[in-house]
C-alpha cells in the first residue's frame, strides 16, 4: 500500500454498495464542477489544482524565508485563527516529536512553534509574553485583512514585545506577513515596514489554504519537507481528476457515503484517530466540513475523538447513545517507532501475556475491537488507512478531505466555499465594545440585556 485507502465494508447495513453506485453520476458531476468552475463558489477553487501548480521558485521562496526564521529564532509564533493556523498546526503536530519542544535549546534542530491569535484569552497572551521575554523569537502573521480581532490583538502585543527586545530594524527581519496582495491593514503595514510577505490567494478560502504559504511557511519553519507534503497532495489531485471514474475516486465515494448516511438520519460524523499526533488534524477537519456544509439549516455535525483515551469518556455514548452518528476512522498502518511490552517477574498488572508484543499491536487490536463493537451497536464505520505518518501521506490525506468536502457540499446542495454565518458574533461583539460605526447596533443590543 503506497497510498491512502478507504474501507467501506462496515456500514452496518445502512447503505449498500448498489446505493452508493447509483449516486456515481451525481458525484462525478460534482467532481467535474470543481475542475470546471460551473457551480456556486467557483471563485474559490484555486486549491483544486494547487498541488501540481506550485513552482520551484515558490518552493525556494518559502524555504528561504523559513531558513531566515530558523536561523534567528528559537521560537516562532504563528498568529492566525481558523484556517490561518489549523492546517499548519495539524501537519506540524502530526510530523514532529511530541516532546520536541521540551528539549534543551542546544539539542533542538528546529524552533519551537507557538500559536497566538486563535483566542482572546488574556491569561494565555500574558503567559506567552512571559515565556517569550527571554527567547529569541519571530512572528508569522497570517491575516487577509489584518483587522480580524483575535490575531490583530495578538500581533499588536507580540510586535510591541519584539521591537522592545531587539529594536525596530532587527524585528523587521523576524516578522513575516502572509496577507492580501494589494489591500488591507496588514498589507499596508508590511509594505511600510518592509516585512517579508507572502500572498493569500484570492481564490482560496482559509480552510483550503494549507498548501499555500499560509500553511507551508510555518510547516517549513518546523523542519518538515514541504515538497514531499505537496507531492502527496498532488498524487491525490491526479487520482481524482476528471479522467478518473467514480469507482476509483476515493473522495467521491466518501462524499456519497456521508450524504447517504445523512439522509438516513445520521446527523453526526465522528472522526476517530488512535494516534494523539492526529488531534489537530481532526480540528482542521472539523472546520473544513463544519464551515463548508453547515448552512441553510443543513449539514452533518463534525465531531472528533482521540482513542483510546476518549473510549474512557465518550465510548459509552458512542456505543449505546442516540443512533444519529457514524464514524470515520483514520488508521495508521505502521508506526514510526518500535516499543515492546517487557516481562515483569511479579506480574501484578497481569500483562505478561503481552510480553514481547509491540505496543502498536495492542493499539491495533483496541482499534479493531472498538470498530466491531460500534458497528454491532448500530454505528456505521468508514475506515481510512494511511501507510505511515510522513509528509507524503499527510499531504494525501489533506487533499483527500478537501476534495471530498467540495463534492459532498455540492451533493448536499450548498455552496461549500462561503461562510456567511461567521459574521454574526462579530457584529454583536463590535457593538458591545462600542466600536465606531456600530452605534445603532450598540443601542439595539443593550436594550436586550
Asked whether residue 447 carries a pLDDT value surpassing 80, the answer given is no
Confidence at 1, pLDDT banded by 50, 70, 90:
low
Q: Are 418 and 43 in contact (CB under 8 A)?
A: no
Residues 448 and 441: their CA atoms lie apart, in Å, by 11
Sequence-distant (≥ 6) Cβ neighbours of residue 404 within 8 angstroms:
251, 252, 254, 255, 258
Peptide bond just before 308 cis, omega within 30 deg: yes
Structural domains of the chain in order of their starting residue, each with its CATH number:
5-39+230-412 (3.40.50.10490), 49-224 (3.40.50.10490)
For 82-130, write each residue's pLDDT tens digit. 999 999 999 999 999 999 889 888 888 899 999 999 999 999 999 999 9
pLDDT confidence of residue 441: 67
Beta strands at 175-179 and 137-142: parallel, antiparallel or unpaired: parallel
C-alpha cell belonging to residue 311: 473510549
CB distance 161 to 126 below 8 Å? no
Please give the helix or strand (H or E) that residue 337 lies within, else none: none
Enumerate the active-site residues. Answer: 291, 426
pLDDT digit string (tens) for 6-42?
Answer: 999 999 899 999 999 999 999 999 999 999 999 999 9
Global pTM reads: 0.95
Q: Following DSSP, what letter does each residue of 84-120 receive, concatenated? A: GTHHHHHHHHHHS-TTGGGS-GGG-SSPEEEEESS--
Q: 365 near 371, Cβ under 8 Å?
A: no
Amino acid at each position: 500500500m503506497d497510498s491512502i485507502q478507504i474501507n467501506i465494508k462496515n456500514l452496518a447495513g445502512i447503505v449498500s454498495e448498489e446505493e452508493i453506485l447509483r449516486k456515481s453520476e451525481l458525484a462525478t458531476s460534482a467532481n467535474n464542477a470543481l475542475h470546471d468552475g460551473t457551480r456556486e463558489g467557483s471563485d474559490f477553487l484555486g486549491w483544486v489544482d494547487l498541488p501540481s501548480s506550485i513552482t520551484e521558485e515558490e518552493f525556494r521562496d518559502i524555504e528561504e524565508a523559513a531558513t531566515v526564521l530558523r536561523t534567528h529564532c528559537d521560537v516562532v509564533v504563528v498568529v492566525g485563527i481558523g484556517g490561518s493556523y489549523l492546517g499548519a498546526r495539524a501537519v506540524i503536530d502530526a510530523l514532529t516529536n511530541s516532546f520536541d519542544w521540551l528539549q534543551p535549546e542546544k539539542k533542538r534542530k528546529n524552533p519551537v512553534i507557538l500559536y497566538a491569535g486563535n483566542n482572546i484569552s488574556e491569561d494565555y497572551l500574558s503567559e506567552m509574553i512571559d515565556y517569550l521575554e527571554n527567547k529569541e523569537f519571530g512572528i508569522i502573521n497570517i491575516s487577509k485583512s489584518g483587522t480580524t480581532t483575535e490575531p490583530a490583538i495578538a500581533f499588536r502585543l507580540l510586535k510591541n514585545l519584539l521591537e522592545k527586545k531587539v529594536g525596530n530594524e532587527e524585528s523587521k527581519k523576524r516578522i513575516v506577513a502572509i496577507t492580501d496582495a494589494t489591500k488591507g491593514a496588514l498589507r499596508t503595514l508590511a509594505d511600510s515596514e518592509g516585512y517579508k510577505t507572502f500572498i493569500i490567494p484570492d481564490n482560496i478560502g482559509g480552510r483550503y489554504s494549507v498548501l499555500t504559504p499560509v500553511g507551508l511557511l510555518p510547516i517549513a519553519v518546523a523542519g518538515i519537507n514541504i515538497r514531499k507534503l505537496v507531492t502527496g497532495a498532488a498524487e491525490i489531485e491526479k487520482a481524482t481528476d476528471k479522467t478518473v471514474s467514480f469507482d476509483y475516486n476515493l473522495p467521491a465515494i466518501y462524499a456519497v457515503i456521508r450524504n447517504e448516511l445523512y439522509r438516513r438520519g445520521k446527523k453526526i460524523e465522528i472522526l476517530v484517530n488512535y494516534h494523539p499526533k492526529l488531534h489537530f488534524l481532526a480540528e482542521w477537519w472539523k472546520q473544513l466540513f463544519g464551515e463548508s456544509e453547515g448552512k441553510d439549516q443543513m449539514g452533518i455535525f463534525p465531531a472528533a475523538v482521540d482513542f483510546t483515551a476518549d473510549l474512557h469518556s465518550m465510548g459509552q455514548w458512542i456505543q449505546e447513545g442516540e443512533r444519529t452518528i457514524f464514524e470515520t476512522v483514520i488508521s495508521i498502518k505502521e508506526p514510526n517507532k518500535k516499543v515492546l511490552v517487557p516481562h515483569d517477574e511479579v506480574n501484578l498488572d497481569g500483562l505478561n501475556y503481552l510480553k514481547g508484543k509491540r505496543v502498536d499491536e495492542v493499539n491495533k487490536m483496541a482499534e479493531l475491537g472498538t470498530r466491531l463493537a460500534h458497528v454491532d451497536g448500530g454505528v456505521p464505520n468508514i475506515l481510512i488507512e494511511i501507510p505511515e505518518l510522513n509528509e507524503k501521506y499527510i499531504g494525501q490525506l489533506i487533499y483527500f478531505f478537501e476534495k471530498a468536502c467540495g463534492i459532498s457540499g455540492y451533493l448536499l446542495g450548498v455552496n461549500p466555499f462561503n461562510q456567511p454565518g461567521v459574521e454574526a458574533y462579530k457584529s454583536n461583539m463590535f457593538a458591545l465594545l462600542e466600536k465606531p460605526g456600530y452605534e445603532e447596533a450598540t443601542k439595539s443590543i443593550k436594550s436586550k440585556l
